Amino acid sequence: MSEPFDHDAALEALAQDIQALRAAEDDLRRRKATLRTDLPRPSDPIAARRFAIAAYWTAPEVPTEILAELATGLSGGKAIYKFTREMTARDSDVPCMLCVREAPRGNPPLEPFEREILQLHADRDQSATMQIEWLWGAHSVDLTPDQVRLYLQDPDLGAAAASGVSRDDYLAWLESEGGIQCGAATQSGRRCLRSVYGAPHEEPAEWVQRRARGDYCHIHGG
């Protein structure tokens, strides 16, 4: 037979837990407040901005305003505005230490066995089916004999030929992930940095044509 439930004891235990939680929250607020005075402040402006950017991404507990003031030397809303703009600008003179660019996309070098098989197709003037790099994963294409020879020379060159575009355009399409840069100018006179995306399964040749025509993001009437 189970023991009777002690209502008063349960409420007392709950009250103690809540009191401990509130004490922990008060301690957390005090610790956060000390960040304003205890945060390292490099004397060099470039080092300060680098540190602020790294801390912004790795220590979300630090108030953004503090990091913005450290990075810009300004205060309040002006500091936050300038900090976030500089941190996300492509041409920032202080690159984020955490943003490591991935290796360019493309087709890997041929394995010896693959090269041997393709060489047989080329020698016999035969077509061949290959898996090439595509926006949404591997894509199967039928290479003509001439495209097989190009693929043996350079997999990206052969893949581009099979896609109906140049090698540079093919690699640019992969890197863009299907987007093209908006053709409008901002109020400062710089080109808009937003990307404009086409159909979900737009192929390289279609992307090249759309890039040549130009397009605008939704902010600029696209």
Reduced 3-state DSSP string for 37-80: HHCCCCCCHHHHHHHHHHHHHHCCCCCHHHHHHHHHCCCHHHHH
Least Cα distance to 140 among 149, 148, 130 occurs for 130
**Predicted local distance difference test score (pLDDT) of residue 2:** 65
**Predicted local distance difference test score (pLDDT) of residue 101:** 40
In a domain? residue 100: no
Q: Distance between CA 109 and CA 159 in Å, rounded?
A: 12
Distance of CA 174 to the CA centre of its chain: 14
- 183-186: list long-range contacts, CB under 8 Å, 24+ apart: 183/214, 183/215, 183/216, 184/216, 184/217, 184/219, 184/220, 184/221
**Predicted local distance difference test score (pLDDT) of residue 91:** 41
What does DSSP say about strands 128-134 and 137-143: parallel, antiparallel, or unpaired? antiparallel
Over its length of 222 residues, how does the chain's per-residue pLDDT go in tens digits?
567 877 788 888 888 888 888 887 877 777 767 766 677 778 777 777 778 877 777 777 777 788 888 888 887 777 777 776 665 554 444 444 444 344 457 899 998 888 999 999 999 999 999 999 988 778 899 999 999 999 999 999 999 999 999 999 999 998 887 888 888 888 887 888 777 877 667 899 999 998 888 888 877 765
In this structure, the answer to whether residues 17 and 84 fall within a common structural domain is: yes
Domain boundary among the residues 165, 192, 210 is at 165
Range of the domain at 194: 178-220
**Predicted local distance difference test score (pLDDT) of residue 192:** 82
**Predicted local distance difference test score (pLDDT) of residue 15:** 84
In this structure, the answer to whether residues 55 and 118 fall within a common structural domain is: no
**Predicted local distance difference test score (pLDDT) of residue 200:** 63
Q: In this structure, how many other beta carbons lie within 10 angstroms of the beta carbon of residue 218? A: 9
What's the domain count of the chain?
3
Q: Distance between CA 153 and CA 51 in Å, rounded?
A: 46
In a domain? residue 143: yes
- Residues in CB range of 106: below 8 A, 6 or more apart: 133, 155, 156, 171, 174
Q: Look up the pTM and report it.
A: 0.52
In a domain? residue 99: no
**Predicted local distance difference test score (pLDDT) of residue 123:** 94
**Predicted local distance difference test score (pLDDT) of residue 90:** 42
In a domain? residue 97: no
**3-state class (DSSP) for residue 97:** coil
In this structure, the answer to whether residues 76 and 117 fall within a common structural domain is: no
**Predicted local distance difference test score (pLDDT) of residue 93:** 43
In this structure, the answer to whether residues 73 and 121 fall within a common structural domain is: no
Domain boundary among the residues 88, 104, 130 is at 88
In this structure, the answer to whether residues 81 and 142 fall within a common structural domain is: no
In this structure, the answer to whether residues 182 and 128 fall within a common structural domain is: no
Q: Distance between CA 200 and CA 143 in Å, rounded?
A: 24
In a domain? residue 170: no
In this structure, the answer to whether residues 125 and 60 fall within a common structural domain is: no
